[in-house]
Amino acid sequence: MAETKPERTVFQSMSHKHVVGLGPQATAYEAACLMTGGNTTSVLITEPPCSLVGIVTERDLMTRVVAKAKDPQTTRLAEIMTPNPLCVPPEKPVSEAVLIMLERGFRHLPVMGPGDKLLGVFSARDALPREIDSALTLAEFREQVNDALG
């Protein structure tokens, strides 16, 4: 029997352990450029000193800007952001974060550490590597059982 590994936390699983952020007056174009350059799928919207006020994702850009024929160079993030996003602590188990995402229809959860310090964003993609590995292990096990049973 395979040994069980301790469940990963959202912080351990995050592919980008830094904050990618802009102010609410920045444009959708600026957000798209920042996401593209940083190879990330979301931007946290903050106001000084470092207060989280919203999040904009690649999906938001597609559904709230492009699909509505808005000009990305004039559309402000304040107009398209999801305000006051639900945040999770860095020690939250991946399975619990994924459950929140499934129940609420999110693909991104900001991660907030002690003292309301933004640590980055946990995305649905961050949950995949270990789970895919587990699925492959299960598939291999089933194949071995089927071979043994003939």
What pLDDT, in 10s, does the model give residues 45-66? 999 877 999 999 999 999 999 9
Asked if 23 and 47 touch (Cβ cutoff 8 Å), the reply is: yes
In a domain, 3, yes or no: no
Q: Which residue has the higher pLDDT, 25 or 147?
A: 25
Q: For residue 82, give the nearest of 67, 58, 107, 60 by alpha carbon.
A: 60
Cβ-proximal residues to 113 (8 Å cutoff; 6+ apart), any chain: 89, 90, 119
Residue 5 lies in a domain: no
Average pLDDT estimate for 58-81: 97
Is 120 inside a domain boundary?
Answer: yes
Give the model confidence (pLDDT) of 13-41 as tens digits.
998 778 889 999 999 999 999 999 988 89
Residue 108 falls inside a structural domain: yes
Provide the residue range defining the domain that includes 63.
Answer: 10-149
pLDDT bucket at 139, cuts 50 / 70 / 90: low
Count of domains forming the chain = 1
Judge if the upstream peptide bond of residue 93 is cis by omega within 30 degrees of 0.
no
* Residue 4 included in any domain: no
In this structure, is residue 18 part of a structural domain? yes
Going by the DSSP 8-state scheme, the letter that residue 6 receives in this structure is: P
Tallying the residues shown for the chain, one arrives at 150
Q: 117, 20 in Cβ contact below 8 A?
A: no
Confidence of residue 124 (pLDDT cuts 50, 70, 90): confident
Look up the CATH number of the domain holding residue 53.
Answer: 3.10.580.10
If you average pLDDT over every residue of the chain, what do you get? 88
- Element (H or E) spanning 110, and its range? strand 108-113
Residue 1 lies in a domain: no
Q: Is 149 in contact with 65 (CB distance < 8 Å)?
A: no
Single-letter amino acid, residue 139: A
